[in-house]
Amino acid sequence: MVAMLIVGGQASAQEGPTAYVGIRAGFADYTESSQRLDAALDSAGESSTSTSVTQHRAGGVVYAGMPFYRMLSFEIGFAQLGTYPVGISTQSTNIPPLAQTITHKLPPAGRGLTLDLAAPLNITSWLAVAPRLGLLAYQSKQEVFTPGGTVADDRKGAGLDAGLALLLFPHRHFSFGAGIDCFAASGRCNVLLYSAVLEYHFGGT
């Protein structure tokens, strides 16, 4: 059975790239930290305030790709990056403005649309490395939990999406593997997605 799957994968590689759909699902890590926030608040004169950041959520991307030149493909996807609330402990009596200050310092996450240029590079007939680079349009909600309630900041904008996956092709229609994605919407990677990858490739018989 394994031999048959590998032979199918070799035949698929020889046929060239085809349109595909896929999912990357796993753990999303928010790169903002309580240490960074605390340092920013301390420099703003709020040394009596400490924060705790939820940094880990489930995340993923569903996407579709269309080859257009040799191994190059356009990919469009929907990314779910999660919401990462922040809790505060403070001696300040002016909590609402303080919470607003914190929300404005938080980089965006949330969800968004991606438009990428992908280029699967065959290492062998059944193994490929697939880098991608493109644009991210996001809708994000930053939340800060305070003793007086939750303060939220809704944000929309654009950024960059880059990723790399290692893919196995055991069959002409299926590939699977693992990948990492960087979603950057404030000049650095706001969210890192570590994922398992599953793709279905159209075409062939």
Phi/psi at 42 (5° precision): -65, -40
Q: Is it the case that residue 4 has pLDDT exceeding 60?
A: no
Q: Is it the case that residue 153 has pLDDT exceeding 80?
A: yes
Confidence tier at 131 by pLDDT (50, 70, 90): very high
pLDDT at position 204 is 58
Instruction: Characterise 45 by phi-psi region: left (phi > 0), alpha (psi -120 to 50), beta (else).
Output: left
131 touches 119 (CB < 8 A): yes
At residue 133, the 3 state secondary structure works out as strand
Q: What is the pLDDT of residues 53-84, one digit of tens each?
A: 989 999 999 999 999 988 899 999 999 999 99
Q: What is the pLDDT of residues 109-125, one digit of tens each?
A: 999 999 999 998 989 88
pLDDT at position 105 is 85
pLDDT at position 42 is 82
Both ends of the chain: CA-CA distance in Å?
A: 18
32 touches 55 (CB < 8 A): yes
pLDDT at position 132 is 96
Q: What is the pLDDT of residues 82-118, one digit of tens each?
A: 999 998 888 777 788 888 888 888 899 999 999 999 9
At residue 43, the 3 state secondary structure works out as helix
pLDDT at position 102 is 87
90 touches 48 (CB < 8 A): yes
Confidence tier at 6 by pLDDT (50, 70, 90): very low
70 touches 40 (CB < 8 A): no
Range of the domain at 64: 2-201
At 179, which CATH number? 2.40.160.20
Q: How many domains does the chain have?
A: 1
Q: What is the pLDDT of residues 17-57, one digit of tens each?
A: 789 999 999 999 999 988 988 888 888 777 778 889 989 99
pLDDT at position 12 is 39
Helices (H), ranges, 95-164: 95-105
